Structure 1
Amino acid sequence: MAFLTTERLSIRRIEDHDRDFIFRLVNTPGYIKFIGDNKVRTIEHAKAYIINGPKTSYQQFGFGLYLVMLKDTSVPIGVCGLTKREFLSFVEIGYAYLPPFWGNGYAKEAAKAVFEHGYQSGVHRIMGVVRPENEGSKAVLSSLGLRYIRDIMLPDEEEYMDLMG
């Protein structure tokens, strides 16, 4: 059941039955290049990813990554949500979409809804971390009013990322 809707999208919590979609999404070349390889190699790994990632985050923080679907057809197109990494002092907005849905404004539309919902729910500081070459993602963050602050090196990364807030 959607807890957020926009003009074209429905956004809901990720559930165990979304494992096939999550498996597909996290193994796209764009996801691996810009977000990272979560080593989700089987459908069972995808189920574990859901349990240990979004579902744990919902319980621990009251937010997490959510499934984004086209409102008219309920076709899943990506994920968007808020995450909290233990080594960062802020809540981070994140998103990923299947390549056929890039360039249609869906990421901006979902991010705006999630961003506003986060602040309305009591989150005080939402920022973004993005690879410098990921112009599409930086455009989404800019549409939320976030601007480049500084370079940031995350644990287990080999290159600096852009911190936007």
Structure 2
Amino acid sequence: MAEVTFKGNPVKLIGSQVKVGDAAPQFKVLANDLSEVTLDDSKGKVRLISVVPSIDTGVCEQQTRRFNEEASKLDNVEVLTISVDLPFAQKRWCAAEGIDNLQTLSDHRDLSFGTNYGVAIEELRLLSRSIFVVDSSDKVTYVEYVPEVTDHPNYDAALEAARNAN
């Protein structure tokens, strides 16, 4: 397991971490209209999965805005932002911020994504900042577990991985 800290303090991540080359684990999260969304709902596309602790915080807002801006420049790539925020809060935030090129999804119900991808923070019931790229055949081609949850991910590397996946 990668060592991860939150504001300098070590935290325990629940689940097994995913590695490049792995089959992407399935998950069940909620869309803003409370419908269930799974990995299979975007089958045949490349997925850039941006994971944030809470969309209402500075770094998470910046991360979501950046991937929203870049999403329109990516061909056959679906950009998903997953957090444990309630779907209603995600919908409200996206409407207020003009976020419309990516899909925000909530893992609040049962931490299905968080545990299957090894990013659920046991002590906080939040997701650890991370990025995953899953190709059109459901293979993981890029993984970044950000070592300090309050830091930014490597946007350029993630975007390059999404462009190169097929």
Please, what TM-score do these two structures have when normalized by structure 2?
Answer: 0.31
Larger RCO (CA within 8 A; separation ≥ 6)? 2
The structure with the greater share of residues assigned to helix is 1
